[in-house]
Amino acid sequence: MITAIVLAKNEEKDIGACLDSLSWCDEMLVIDDNSTDKTVEIAKKKGARVITHAMQGNFANQRNFGLDKAKNEWVLFIDADERVSSPLWYEIMQETNESIGQYTGFYVNRMDTMWGQVLKHGETGNIKLLRLAKKHVGKWQGRVHETWKISGKTTMLKNQLDHFPHETVEEFLKEINFYTDLRAADLFERKVKTYWWAPLVYPVAKFTLNFIGRRGFQDGLPGLVFAMLMSFHSFLVRAKLWLLWQKKSND
């Protein structure tokens, strides 16, 4: 018995297709962060149980809230801009039925499709995420870029999870601004220091790693744009963190 959990906030463009790809689950649970569009209406029409719960800038707490509300033994976390293909859900059903007592969690390889192209290299080319596990074997940790910390034996699923983020550069930039606010605040709360040179060094290092080291250049122009924007992400995190420390020192 599997519960699929989707965190949502103003996801009317994606929530319908996402839930269609999860219709095989025994329960679809949407944890909605006070959406102001038609997200809740669409989700309910697709047969999902919707619970409104303010995220308050903490993704791990939101996921753990959903985890507590899930009704079934196995829990699958999916984002609104992700899709579970037929081969993947067949594999999930088979593995959860056959792994009784053997595995408590499963990793999945997520592949990004951006601007009409699958990104096979760079930062997104080899992402492995723990997204399927038994309900009571662990909790999520981290305000942003959160991870599911579980006990027991895990393994990798063979079929990929499809991801369709950032339809436009404008949308990408808005998300970068949002996530870097959270990341900088998280680092500041954990008393991570930064220096004036960090906003210069970190972006260059990240671009070099993603575009050259991880061969993002093989994805052509989309790979270049993605590497540059993720480098900007790195710049904003360090710049915002530096400004938080400056503000504290001036208070």
Domain assignments of the chain as residue spans, ordered by start: 2-163, 169-250
User: pLDDT digits over 12-55, tens only?
Assistant: 999 999 999 999 999 999 999 999 999 999 999 999 999 999 99
Q: Judging by beta carbons within 10 Å of its beta carbon (0-12, 13-18, 19+), is residue 160 exposed, middle or buried? A: middle
CA–CA gap between residue 223 and residue 215 (Å, rounded): 9
Q: What CATH number does the domain located at 2-163 have?
A: 3.90.550.10
Mention every residue, 6+ apart, whose C-beta is less than 8 A from residue 211: 122, 217, 223, 224, 227
CA–CA gap between residue 201 and residue 152 (Å, rounded): 39
Q: Are 44 and 118 in contact (CB under 8 A)?
A: no
The tokens of 154 are what? 């895990």
Question: Could you tell me the pTM of the whole model?
Answer: 0.91
User: pLDDT digits over 82-122, tens only?
Assistant: 999 999 999 999 999 876 678 999 999 999 998 889 999 99
Rg (CA), the chain: 19
DSSP-derived pairing of the beta strands 2-8 and 27-32: parallel
Exposure of 189 in the CB half-sphere (CA atoms within 13 A): 10
Q: Are 90 and 139 in contact (CB under 8 A)?
A: no
User: pLDDT digits over 171-230, tens only?
Assistant: 999 999 999 999 999 999 999 999 889 999 999 999 999 999 999 999 999 999 999 999
Torsions phi, psi for 80 (to 5 deg): -60, -30
